Amino acid sequence: MSTPPRPTSTIAPAPRRARPDWAALVVAVALAILAAVVLISAARMAPVAQYTRIGPTVFPYAIATLLALLAIGTAIAAWRGDFPAREVDHYGPIAWITGGLVAQMLLMNITGFSIATGVLFAATARGFGRGPLWQTLPIGIVFAFIIWFIFSRGLSLSIPAGPLERLIP
């Protein structure tokens, strides 16, 4: 003969509380500090004679408020453990992109905008796994030169010029 079925419990087990995401809490604290810095900076702005209700301090106050709200929302989500699991970092691409940024900063006054930004373009493309450097470097220099020409000649903005930019009178 068969045995009678066991009665099942109608009480569900208590849900397991997720642990706080400490990295996200650090981001929330950083956002709160940034909001405080913007708020203090806006409060210290010299008053300007204004004829309208909206003056130069309105936007810093709005940005500080939004940063504070973002910090609160991030802290709540972090405390609940609502953030998705982070992916594994691949340090090779990070190193290529960071190296490109550092190279651009170091080369900007020496080689000019086009070459320095071309190096950044090539390093970023390499970080994303696109093309060899011998191919992406000239492409980046050409794109950067076009951007330099538009901003420097078309808009009369002062952008560091190097030997390549000095070829155009």
User: Digits of tens for pLDDT over the chain (169 positions)?
Assistant: 566 666 565 665 545 556 888 889 999 999 999 999 999 998 888 777 666 677 777 889 999 999 999 999 999 999 988 888 888 888 999 999 999 999 999 999 999 899 999 999 999 999 999 989 899 999 999 999 999 989 888 888 888 888 888 788 7
Q: Which helix (H) or strand (E) holds 28?
A: helix 22-43
Please tell me the distance from the alpha carbon of residue 60 to that of residue 63, in angstroms, as a whole number: 5
Q: Is the dihedral of CA 71, 77, 79, 85 positive or negative?
A: negative
Cα–Cα distance between 137 and 27 in angstroms, integer? Answer: 35
Taking the whole predicted model, whether its pTM rises above 0.85 is answered as no
3-state class (DSSP) for residue 131: coil
